């Protein structure tokens, strides 16, 4: 089974091409850090609660946090979307904020703003829980050619409407560990030849 996954993962990169270099990735993270530092280093800016959206944002969050030069509290959330992607499906919260969000300024960190349905739900849920302000900061915003139900407040870079992996983003559970971003060829986005024991795919083509 392990050989199956190694072979499958390697095959997915055979026709892929790098669209963002590791250096450009780091520049994008610094861009987000600079905006947040300018906001929260100002006198009276407050003590924000920073929430990383697992699991795609884990690499972005881990890279960004050491670059933030202001006092903050950190936690994470985990949400999944099931059903019809084009209509948003059902958003299920696997992990809700463990800290009290009422009256707080919340910074939500996510890897990519794709269709936007899940992040729109997350923002509204936090506001319904009493958050004073919710700031959405994403590593990347995908240009899907149509309007989205939410606009990120802070964006590191904009991506073309392609299936992209790397820096926390995956294809069928693979290649979150790539330091740059790679576009996967549509011809390779086909169903598995066999049902794997792991990983459970949590990303699929848009």
Percent of the chain that is helix, strand, coil (3-state, to 5) = 30, 30, 45
How many angstroms separate the CA atoms of 87 and 191, rounded? 22
How many angstroms separate the CA atoms of 203 and 63, rounded? 22
Catalytic residue among 110, 114, 141, 170: 114
Residue 110 annotated among the catalytic residues of the structure: no
Q: Nearest to residue 168, comparing CAs of 156, 155, 180?
A: 180
Q: What is the torsion angle, in degrees rounded to the nearest 10, for the CA atoms of residue 16, residue 4, residue 56 and residue 147?
A: 50
Cα 9 to chain centroid, rounded: 21
Cα 112 to chain centroid, rounded: 4
Q: Residues with catalytic annotation?
A: 114
């Amino acid at each position: 089974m392990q050989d199956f996954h190694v072979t499958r993962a390697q095959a997915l990169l055979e026709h892929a091409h790098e669209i963002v270099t590791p250096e450009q990735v780091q520049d994008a993270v610094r861009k987000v850090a600079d905006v947040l530092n300018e906001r929260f280093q100002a006198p009276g800016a407050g003590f924000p609660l920073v929430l990383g959206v697992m699991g795609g944002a884990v690499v972005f969050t881990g890279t960004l946090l050491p670059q933030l030069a202001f006092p903050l509290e950190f936690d994470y959330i985990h949400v999944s979307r099931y059903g019809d992607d084009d209509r948003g499906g059902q958003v299920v919260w696997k992990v809700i904020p463990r800290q009290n969000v009422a009256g707080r300024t919340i910074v939500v960190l996510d890897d990519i703003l794709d269709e936007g349905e899940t992040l729109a739900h997350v923002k509204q849920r936090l506001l319904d829980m009493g958050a004073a302000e919710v700031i959405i900061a994403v590593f990347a915003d995908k240009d899907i050619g149509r309007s989205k139900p939410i606009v990120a407040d802070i964006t590191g870079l904009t991506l073309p409407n392609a299936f992209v992996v790397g820096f926390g983003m995956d294809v069928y559970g693979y290649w979150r560990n790539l330091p740059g971003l790679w576009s996967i060829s549509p011809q390779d986005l086909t169903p598995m030849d066999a049902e794997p024991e792991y990983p459970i795919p949590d990303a699929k083509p848009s």
